[in-house]
């Protein structure tokens, strides 16, 4: 059972710690900060305490709020242009996955030539980028502890994965107070994004004992906290547990990669501009049903981690409880039961299949998958056939 586990990101978690980010960065001798976020985070006032901390520590900073959902290479180019107008020594991301992925791309392209899309694939970056600190404001993507960024090629409508150890942030600051005002729909979509990370990481052919431990622990925490965070919202304990669980799921899939859900959802996001978490959540039960024959034992573990009793059940029936658990979560979180409701159309299914098969995630999906299988999964998810 040979494996390698590597994550260089230092993670610090605590209520209110983002208010001290100025002194934290100053202690690292950073004086000029390029802050990457989106207009929604800025409008919600989430940046206020962070900006106050930077000012108090006499750190010069500029805010780039041009982040867009499903980040494009154009938004990266725009941010990089702003970055190069000054001598910044650190990139600070504050926001959800789109902000963090955009910040990763900007930071790395500050020290590499060409376009971010030139580096699609694994290990193609030549140089480390500017130091990067991230402050997630959603409990979902886990991008704060991963070695990847997902950037959309607007011309081809394809979401490109750039993967390199150079993309690991140096620091991740987890402050659940910043998530307390998340709208219910974003709590649901980002939460189920993270659940998908944990499930696909656990069942991946590339999973190892460390990643599997993280994935199962995160699933247990999601099972205990996701619905409370959704229905109560202001419960700080569930919010903090969600943020930590999301980080654990990210730390898991940073090593194991993912599977067919992400192969297809990245395609749907590129073509139809569907929010990533919602695409994942809607596809998840259909892919789990497809994968069940290949890993019923792991599906049983997932069902139990999500709080379902499988005592006395044959292994396959126990595994089916995992699919039922996800269906119930989706229903309770008001997530659509099919991708047709997300605006997907089948007139471009050939492109959807082709682009999905281009993903390296298909290769490590637990059940062998070909183009015909991907087509069947997409059609089943479109019509809601489980």
Rounded distance between C-alpha atoms, residue 133 and residue 172, angstroms: 6
pLDDT band at 342 (very low <50, low <70, confident <90, very high): very high
What is the percent of the chain where pLDDT is above 70?
100
Instruction: Give the model's pLDDT for residue 4.
Output: 86
Residue pLDDT, tens place only, 84-112: 999 999 999 999 999 999 999 999 999 99
Cβ contact 258:357 at 8 Å: no
Mean pLDDT of 23-36: 96
Given CATH 3.20.20.140, say whether it is the number of domain 10-179: no
Residue 181 has pLDDT above 90, yes or no: no
Instruction: Give the model's pLDDT for residue 158.
Output: 86
Q: Which CATH class is domain 184-383?
A: mainly alpha
Residue pLDDT, tens place only, 45-79: 999 999 999 999 999 999 999 999 889 999 999 99
Rounded distance between C-alpha atoms, residue 20 and residue 151, angstroms: 31
Instruction: Give the model's pLDDT for residue 268.
Output: 95
Cβ contact 12:171 at 8 Å: yes
Rounded distance between C-alpha atoms, residue 72 and residue 117, angstroms: 10
Q: Is 63 exposed, middle or buried (0-12, 13-18, 19+ CB in 10 A)?
A: middle
pLDDT band at 118 (very low <50, low <70, confident <90, very high): very high
List the helix and strand counts (H, then E) for the chain: 15, 9
Q: Say which residue, 38 or 157, is predicted with more confidence.
A: 38
Residue pLDDT, tens place only, 359-378: 999 999 999 999 999 999 99
Residue 1 has pLDDT above 70, yes or no: no
Q: What are phi and psi of 87, to 5 degrees?
A: -95, 70
Sequence-separated (6 or more) residues with CB below 8 Å from residue 27:
none
Question: Across all residues in the chain, what is the average pLDDT?
Answer: 95
The residues with which 153 forms a beta bridge, in sequence order, are 158
Instruction: Give the model's pLDDT for residue 17.
Output: 96
User: DSSP string spanning 282-293?
Assistant: HHHHHHHHHHGG
Residue pLDDT, tens place only, 204-234: 999 999 999 999 999 999 999 999 999 999 9
The 10 Å CB-count burial string (b at 16+, else e) for 87-117 is ebbbbbbbbbbbbbbbbbbbbbbbebeeebb
pLDDT band at 336 (very low <50, low <70, confident <90, very high): very high
Rounded distance between C-alpha atoms, residue 103 and residue 39, angstroms: 14
Task: Residue 163: name the closest of 116, 199, 208 by CA.
Answer: 116
Cβ contact 225:242 at 8 Å: yes
Residue pLDDT, tens place only, 121-174: 999 999 999 999 999 999 988 999 999 999 999 888 888 899 999 999 999 999
Please give the structure tokens belonging to residue 310: 């499988």
Determine how β-strand 171-174 pairs with β-strand 10-13: parallel
Instruction: Give span(s): CATH 1.20.1090.10, the chain.
Output: 184-383
Mean pLDDT of 308-321: 95
Instruction: Give the model's pLDDT for residue 154.
Output: 87
Determine how β-strand 148-153 pairs with β-strand 158-163: antiparallel
Cβ contact 172:212 at 8 Å: no
Return the percent helix, strand and coil in the chain, to nearest 5.
55, 10, 30
Residue pLDDT, tens place only, 298-311: 999 999 999 999 99
Half-sphere CA count of 26, side-chain side, radius 13 A? 12
Sequence-separated (6 or more) residues with CB below 8 Å from residue 314:
none
Chain centroid, CA 355 distance in Å: 20
> Among 152-161, 195-204, 252-261, which is the least confidently predicted range?
152-161
Instruction: Give span(s): CATH 3.40.50.1970, the chain.
Output: 10-179
Instruction: Give the model's pLDDT for residue 2.
Output: 81
Task: Residue 222: name the closest of 129, 328, 103 by CA.
Answer: 328
């Amino acid at each position: 059972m040979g494996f390698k586990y590597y994550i260089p990101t230092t993670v610090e978690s605590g209520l209110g710690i983002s208010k001290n980010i100025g002194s934290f960065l100053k202690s690292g001798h950073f004086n000029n900060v390029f802050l990457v976020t989106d207009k929604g985070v800025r409008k919600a006032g989430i940046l206020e305490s962070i900006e106050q901390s930077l000012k108090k520590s006499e750190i010069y900073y500029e805010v780039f709020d041009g982040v867009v959902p499903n980040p494009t290479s154009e938004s990266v180019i725009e941010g990089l242009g702003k970055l190069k107008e000054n001598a910044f020594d650190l990139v600070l991301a504050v926001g959800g996955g789109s902000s963090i992925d955009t910040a990763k791309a900007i930071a790395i392209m500050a020290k590499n030539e060409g376009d971010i899309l030139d580096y699609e694939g694994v290990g193609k970056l030549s140089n480390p980028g500017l130091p990067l600190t991230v402050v997630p404001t959603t409990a979902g993507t886990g991008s704060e502890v991963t070695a990847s960024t997902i950037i959309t090629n607007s011309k081809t409508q394809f979401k490109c994965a750039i993967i390199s150890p150079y993309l690991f942030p140096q620091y991740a600051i987890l402050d659940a107070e910043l998530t307390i005002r998340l709208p219910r729909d974003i709590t649901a979509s980002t939460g189920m994004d993270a659940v998908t990370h944990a499930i696909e990481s656990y069942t991946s052919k590339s999973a190892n004992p460390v990643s599997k431990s993280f994935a199962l622990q995160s699933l247990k925490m999601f099972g205990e906290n996701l619905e409370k965070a959704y229905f109560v919202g202001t419960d700080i304990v569930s919010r903090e547990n969600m943020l930590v669980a999301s980080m654990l799921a990210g730390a898991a899939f940073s090593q194991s990669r993912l599977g067919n859900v992400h192969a297809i959802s990245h395609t749907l996001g590129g073509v139809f501009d569907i929010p990533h978490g919602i695409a994942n959540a809607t596809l998840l039960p259909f892919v789990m049903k497809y994968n069940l024959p290949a890993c019923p034992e792991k599906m049983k573990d997932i069902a139990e981690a999500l709080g379902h009793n499988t005592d006395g059940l044959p292994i396959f029936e126990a595994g089916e409880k995992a699919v039922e658990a996800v269906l119930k979560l989706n229903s309770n979180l008001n997530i659509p039961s099919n991708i047709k409701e997300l605006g997907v159309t089948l007139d471009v299914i050939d492109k959807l299949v082709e682009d999905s098969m281009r993903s390296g995630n298909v290769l490590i999906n637990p059940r062998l998958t070909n183009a015909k299988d991907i087509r069947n999964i997409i059609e089943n998810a479109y019509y809601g056939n489980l």
